[in-house]
Structure formats: structure tokens, C-alpha cells
Amino acid sequence: PKNWPAGIIYLTEPAYSSQLGPSELSALRQNDGPVNGPGIINTLPSPLVKITAITSPATHPAVGQYGLFAARDLAPSSFIVDYLGYVHPASDTDESSNYDLCLDADCGVGVDATKMGNEARFTNDYRGIRPEGPNAEFKEHVVNGERRMSIWVLPAGKNGHRKRGIRKGEEICVSYGKGFWRER
């Protein structure tokens, strides 16, 4: 995709560590899940997003870096993109990574997009960007019997304050969670 960094492998499917054992692999496979949920566009590069250099405002915490932006209007509760990367056991964790998400806490499996991934690796935390909070969330779903972490537009909410979803050109922001910031 446009603005993809040199030296980072672009993935269209997860890359699995050879250190994943049978129990970990079994935990990642779901034979009872849907192939794809309704309305999921799983084409990569994704037509729903674009990687954009962040040049302003100067107060943006990722200024001089990149962010993930909506390429079209995205409805509440809609799928945006899978978070692809190197799927690994806890014993194969890169402690210096800022791109490692927990995929299965019970068996210690994560997905790391430091050296390989897709557009989702450019999703920034909302802090310092959106005072109203995140407009998207990490959520697990099943693709062809395989558990994946993905990014979804937040639901409209009980009072409907997020009913417009994410507008074209708007930065897609999630909450990395308190644990991420506690480790920094």
C-alpha cells in the first residue's frame, strides 16, 4: 500500500512462529466460527483505510510518523481491518516491540507487527489525539476457522453519540489499554 515502510514485510495472512506448540495452535483454530462475519471486507490492501503521514498538529503524539485514516465513511460496529503480524508464543516475545497484541492470554499467544504486518500496525492510541476517546476498538473474530485480532468501529452507544461512525479522512484511533502505558 501507499506509504508502506521499507524493511517491513507486508502480510495478507498471519505469519506463524515455528515455536507454537500443538495446544497453542489448537487454541487459535475455531471450527465452529463463521468464515467471515456479515459485511466484512477482508481484501488486502484494504480499500477502507489509508496510511497517512502525520504532519500536524505539532501536539499530535505521532507527528513525524504515520497513522491509519478512513478512506471512506465507516458505519458504527463495522469491521475495519485485521491486525496481522507474527503470531508467537510467550517464549518468542520481542520485549522491545511496540506492536505486540495479546491474541490468547490463556495460552500466552501474541501477534507482533514490528517486522511484518499490514495497515493495522499504524493505528494510534487516542490519547493526545481525540479528547472524546477512541473511535475504534480491538476485537477478536474468526476467519476461515482461524482466530484473529481485528479493528472495528465502535458501536453507536446507548445514547447514539457515536452514530456517525468514522468519517472519511478521520484518523482511526483505539485504546492501547492501561497495561501498554504501564509498561512504558
Collapse the DSSP code of 71 into the 3-class scheme (helix H, G, I; strand E, B; otherwise coil) and give the result.
coil
Backbone angles phi, psi at 183, to 5 degrees: -80, -5
pLDDT on residue 45: 92
pTM of the model: 0.87
Q: Are strands 136-143 and 116-117 parallel, antiparallel or unpaired?
A: unpaired
Q: What pLDDT is recorded for position 105?
A: 77
The DSSP result for 80-147, as a single string, is: EEE--SEEEEGGG--TT-SSEEEEETTTTEEEE-SSEE-GGGGPEESTTT-TT--SEEEEEEEETTEE
Along the 184 residues of the chain, how does pLDDT read in single tens digits? 999 999 999 999 999 999 998 888 888 887 655 555 555 656 789 999 999 999 988 999 999 999 999 999 999 999 999 999 999 988 888 887 888 888 877 778 889 999 999 999 999 999 999 999 999 999 988 888 888 999 999 999 877 778 889 999 999 999 987 655 455 4
Domain ranges of the chain: 9-182
Q: Do the bridges between strand 136-143 and strand 146-153 make them parallel or antiparallel, or are there none, so unpaired?
A: antiparallel
The pLDDT value given to residue 169 = 98
pLDDT of residue 183: 55
Rg, the chain, Cα only: 16
In angstroms, rounded to a whole number, what is the distance separating the alpha carbons of residues 135 and 126?
Answer: 8
CATH architecture of 9-182: Beta Complex (2.170)
DSSP structure class, residue 154 = P
* 168, burial (CB in 10 Å: exposed 0-12, middle 13-18, buried 19+): exposed
Q: What is the DSSP letter of 172?
A: P
Nearest alpha-carbon partner for 124 in 142, 151, 93, 102: 151
Q: How many CB atoms neighbour CB 55 within 10 A?
A: 9
